[in-house]
Chain A
């Protein structure tokens, strides 16, 4: 850096707090009961947080973690802050309200928060959350902010003028698309983009002091009534009957499998 470098990159990272995979699903009339659940920072979001921190360190700037949800989501934001994000924006809704929000209104609220606290030069997110597996909010936020976007990003190079980027995204069959994109943009990170760091103990201590600004959903001009879909019903998958276990020589095992696939399951 030559001291005359005026570049300053303001980066937002959208994160979601999700239940841990090991969670047992206790269903109520309004979906998953949050009481007793173990929550984590959505694993794909860790790649977005890591990328934001690395870019902030390389290009100089600020990495702001943004999350929507009840007060408990601040724990996930603190994980991102402990990894190295600078500040946070918490779009606050109650536990009850959250159950009535759909992808549309969540994206609209995040976009409104980014607009109010921006402009941002780059918006990062995980490509999908492991609870609803929608792969949708980053693209919708981009659309509401009228920005270009790319998802499932496995490699990112910011151009020297910070006005464009080259990236790779994973598609079907192990192929990768190579994309040139204008910035600002919304980019959704995939596994492989980087190796997320663990939060250090000093990082965790520092994170407690970092500023998290609270924005109420209503202050963004939105409510659960803006959702486009309602949740009608929640159900557990049907129990699967116990299977058959075969024993014998490799040839006998193979014969048993193939006979059952042909005659009983009728899939071959």
Chain B
């Protein structure tokens, strides 16, 4: 039987939905899956995590914790996963393509002498044959890769594949030692804390503004709307370059690639570099004063109007709808 090790991540005490998507993608194709989680958060919330991954069909939850794992340490993660992968007789190493996973998996592919397919939107497993589809040139086309042999290392784009119904099973928790030396050491993490909004790269809903927002303080109207629908807040490169938003909020080619169910572009003209980062969003709404703006060609729903007038109304309508249930 094909066996996979899936690296999972927790956020605010819960296993990320995108991690569960990776487990389901493999379990649903007959693969036996164990999950592996790192750090103190995995210890504190181990029972909840075991239920979450077990509910999707994972057999074991391998829990790795040590005093060095307060922060992400690529050296420790890589050596621990490589050792676990080899002794556990696994064929596939998979994870949702978060920023941590994008950093880590290439190291493991090289160490395990394995092929690598990053940020895949589909994976197909048929016995010992495994193929995966991934976007190329910012989604201009797709390539399907076939692994010549196991082991296979792949990451799956968040919010593309579904999760399964919770089976009610819980995974068996197995304490796993961390091993390996630290050649690079993460000593601290600065900034980013305090925001209750979802990460852009994994958000199911995003509302973004372009240079038409005029000033950083005006993002308040975008944030108010975002908080009503539980959305992340993004910005176009033009807004970032003009100093209205930090680079961490940038959606597009030199920023984040996002794939939400709903993307609302406010005062964004739709430069090709921006489209490159968001055009795979399932539903796109554009609000722009210029009816000729290229963003309207990509939008499912377009509204010709000023974001300063339309967005507050949108916030009101969302509030009305969601309070009505």
Contact partners of A201 in chain B: CB under 8 A: none
B301 with A246: CB separation less than 8 A: yes
Q: Given A171-B100, A254-B317, decide whether A267 and B110 contact each other with a Cβ distance below 8 A.
A: no
Tier of interface size on chain A: 35 or more
Q: Which of B104, B195, B276 contacts A21 (CB 8 A)?
A: B276
Stretch at the interface among B35-43, B55-63, B141-149, B161-169: B141-149
Q: How far is the CB of A134 from chain B (nearest CB, A)?
A: 5
Binds A, one of B21-29, B170-178, B181-189, B211-219: B181-189
Knowing A133-B138, A133-B257, say if A172 contacts B99 (CB, 8 Å). Answer: yes
Hey, what's the 0/1 contact readout for B105-141 against A, CB within 8 Å counting as 1? 1110111001111110000000000010001111111
Kindly state whether residue B88 has any CB partner on chain A within 8 Å: no
CA distance A219 to B102 in the complex (A): 31
CB-based nearest B residue for A134:
B118
In the complex, what distance in Å separates the CA atom of A192 from the CA atom of B229?
Answer: 31
User: At the interface, yes or no: B248 with Cβ under 8 Å from chain A?
Assistant: yes
Verify A139–B107 contact, CB threshold 8 A: yes
A116 at the binding interface (Cβ < 8 Å): no
Mask, A31-47, CB within 8 Å of B = 1, is: 11000000000011000
Closest to B9 in A: A172
B303 touches A135 (CB 8 A): no
Residue numbers in A under 8 Å from B143 (CB-CB): 31, 231, 233-234
Contact A267 B282 (CB under 8 A): yes
Chain B contacts for A107, CB-based, 8 A: 106, 110
Contact B187 A240 (CB under 8 A): no
- Interface residues in B271-294 by Cβ distance below 8 A to A read 272-273, 276, 280, 282-285, 287, 291
Assess the B310–A253 pair: CB atoms within 8 A: yes
Task: Assess the B118–A136 pair: CB atoms within 8 A.
Answer: yes
CB–CB A182/B313 < 8 A: no
Measured between beta carbons, the chain A residues less than 8 angstroms from B248 are 170, 173-174
Distance from B62 Cβ to chain A, minimum over Cβ atoms (Å): 22
Q: Does A58 contact B (CB under 8 A)?
A: no
CA gap between A102 and B149 in the complex, in Å? 14
Interface string of A137-158 (1 = CB under 8 A from B): 1111011100111111000000
Query: Chain A 99-137, CB within 8 Å of chain B: the 1/0 string?
Result: 000111001000000000000000000000011111111
The CA-CA distance from A192 to B71 in the complex, in Å, is 23
Given the complex, which residues of A lie within 8 Å of B192, measured CB to CB? 171-176
**A 63-107 binary contact with B (CB < 8 Å = 1; else 0):** 000000000000000000000000000000000000000111001
The interface of chain A, by Cβ under 8 A from chain B, is: 19, 21-25, 27, 31-32, 43-44, 102-104, 107, 130-140, 142-144, 147-152, 168, 170-182, 185, 191-192, 227-237, 240, 242-247, 250-251, 253-258, 260-262, 265, 267-268
- Listed A/B pairs (6) with beta-carbon separation below 8 Å: A31-B143, A136-B106, A147-B183, A174-B192, A236-B142, A245-B291
Known: A228-B149, A250-B309. 14 other contacts (CB 8 A): A130-B138, A131-B137, A134-B118, A135-B102, A135-B103, A229-B116, A243-B284, A243-B299, A245-B302, A253-B305, A254-B317, A257-B317, A258-B318, A268-B321
